[in-house]
Structure 1
Amino acid sequence: MADAIHINKVIEKEKILFVEGRDELVFFDSLLQFMGDEYHKTIQIIPYEGKAKLNEFLSMISKTEGFIENVSSFAVTRDADMNHGAAIESINSTLRRLFSFCKVDHNEFKETDALKIGVFVFPGKNKSGELEDLVLDAIKGNQVCALVDDYLNGLENTTKPKNESSDFTFPRKPSKAKIQIYFSSMKESDTRLGISAQRKYIDFNHDCFDEIKRFISLM
């Protein structure tokens, strides 16, 4: 299956932030721009195209000339989904196999003589969920967000699984649905998290982003 993953990422910088996909790439590029040139110009963001591909992707890219010659620090990020601990263990299984690393916990970096490796699982320590849940913390109390909550509460009560007679099903990932509805109300609407961050519809000054900004600063 490794042949199915085409590695066409040229390693250009010493610090690499691995993210799940294209949307996350755009989101974190916006965050690094917000944090300043010290970070935006020194950290390269590379998507590994989904949690299921992380193991093979890291295995292949870590063998490239660019990685071997240039990289001194990298961090792996992903969503916790339903189980934060399982997400941490999944990443660490890959790190142990490829880099002979002992456990790296959430929001932590560990170093050898050659590499510094970090792990960050969204939305935060011991929390299930995803990056969208972290962003939702930044918009809580917003009038539009409250209306979206009301809509989704009503939708949940009228769709499956709560209402088995319905032809419709409640979104499998309510946080993603909430974010998409919220950003669709913007002047330049786009339901993608990354594009919305790029358009400055996300307030990176909010204290909910302090943990991830501190983590990035340690790279």
Structure 2
Amino acid sequence: MAKPIYFDIKVDGSRQDRPFLIFVEGIDDGHFIDVLLSDLEISTEQVGIVIVNGKDQFEKAISQAKKTHAYRQMRGLALIRDADGDTRAAATAIDQIFEKHFNVKIPPGETLISDGRKLGAFIFPGNEEPGDLEKACLSTVHGTPLEELAENFMQKAQAQTAPLNQPHKRKAQVYLTAASTNLCRGVGYGFKDGLFNSNHAAIDRIREFLKAFLVELIEQKAA
């Protein structure tokens, strides 16, 4: 798998000295966003991904970022997280962070400008329904033989046990076990390795969100 170019695994998963920062839950999300930014051909000198290591760590990570010297030159900040089982709760958590630090609320999937900075928020899989990055990635291979194999396995497993939590994460692990010749640790890694369809409509919303958040850089590149 190619190394990430918008974050540095050796430096606690962060590139906080870039004008535009994208805060994500974990390294798997980082690899996924890294691919989409590469597709947009955004300069690595302009955009950095910040791995916060857990949805409960966003507030702390943003607080720390605001204390750095680089914050004075920051022109954009986006927060991307999973909905998990409750999209409304995820949106409320995001609102609390943006209200505390920037005195604004941002509807999921939207961007706005506040005090000269572009701000944005996105909730996987598509801002409106429960789920996660795993659900979004699995949607890109829905109906394929390996996806159906993973679905059948999950149905049989559910029939033999008590209800399983995080079903999409579990199904993704089954799918990756069959789809990859090497062990693959997560859907972000698998997405980077081409195990999911990066051109599928299920990815359009996050791709369009990134375009809107980074429109200034995209327009500069096209000029």
Aligning the two structures, in what range does the TM-score lie when normalised by the shorter sequence?
0.7 to 0.9
Larger Rg: 1
Q: Which ranges of structure 2 fall in alignment gaps of 5 or more residues?
A: 1-11, 214-223
Are 1:79 and 2:82 counterparts?
A: yes
CA distance in 2, matches of 1:130, 1:39: 27
Q: Check whether the contact 1:29–1:40 (CA below 8 A) recurs between aligned residues.
A: no
Structure 1: which 4+ aligned runs deviate by more than 6 Å? none
Give the alignment's Cα RMSD to 1 decimal: 1.9
CA distance in 2, matches of 1:125, 1:65: 32
Q: Check whether the contact 1:39–1:217 (CA below 8 A) recurs between aligned residues.
A: no
CA distance in 1, matches of 2:90, 2:20: 22
CA distance in 2, matches of 1:18, 1:188: 29
Per-residue CA deviations over 1:150-190 (Å, capped at 9, x if unaligned) read 111111011124xxxxxxxxx31110011111111122331
Paired position in structure 2 for 1:167: none
Paired position in structure 1 for 2:33: 28
Paired position in structure 1 for 2:140: 138
Give the drift of 1:41: 5.6
SS of structure 1 residue aligned to 2:42: helix
CA distance in 1, matches of 2:196, 2:150: 17
Per-residue CA deviations over 1:12-66 (Å, capped at 9, x if unaligned) read 3211111001111122112222x23236563211111111111122111112111
The one of 161, 167, 170 equivalent to 1:174 is 167
Q: Measured at CA, do residues 216 and 10 of structure 1 come closer, stay the same or move farther in structure 2, by a change above 3 Å?
A: closer
Q: Measured at CA, do residues 119 and 16 of structure 1 come closer, stay the same or move farther in structure 2, by a change above 3 Å?
A: same
CA distance in 2, matches of 1:20, 1:188: 25
Q: Which amino acid aligns with 1:198?
A: K
TM-score using structure 1 length:
0.85
CA distance in 2, matches of 1:144, 1:41: 38
Q: Check whether the contact 2:137–2:191 (CA below 8 A) recurs between aligned residues.
A: no
The one of 195, 198, 203 equivalent to 1:209 is 203
TM-score using structure 2 length:
0.84
Give the drift of 1:9: 4.2
CA distance in 1, matches of 2:44, 2:37: 5
Paired position in structure 1 for 2:20: 15
Q: Which amino acid aligns with 1:84?
A: T
CA distance in 2, matches of 1:199, 1:10: 22
Per-residue CA deviations over 1:93-144 (Å, capped at 9, x if unaligned) read 011111112x200110111232111010011132011111111110101011
Paired position in structure 2 for 1:158: 160
CA distance in 1, matches of 2:37, 2:134: 18
Q: Which amino acid aligns with 1:85?
A: R
Q: Measured at CA, do residues 9 and 144 of structure 1 come closer, stay the same or move farther in structure 2, by a change above 3 Å?
A: closer
Give the drift of 1:211: 0.9
SS of structure 2 residue aligned to 1:76: strand
Q: Check whether the contact 1:123–1:130 (CA below 8 A) recurs between aligned residues.
A: yes
CA distance in 1, matches of 2:123, 2:130: 9
Q: Check whether the contact 2:20–2:47 (CA below 8 A) recurs between aligned residues.
A: yes
The one of 100, 107, 124 equivalent to 1:105 is 107
Q: Which ranges of structure 1 fall in alignment gaps of 5 or more residues?
A: 1-6, 162-170
Q: Check whether the contact 1:179–1:191 (CA below 8 A) recurs between aligned residues.
A: no
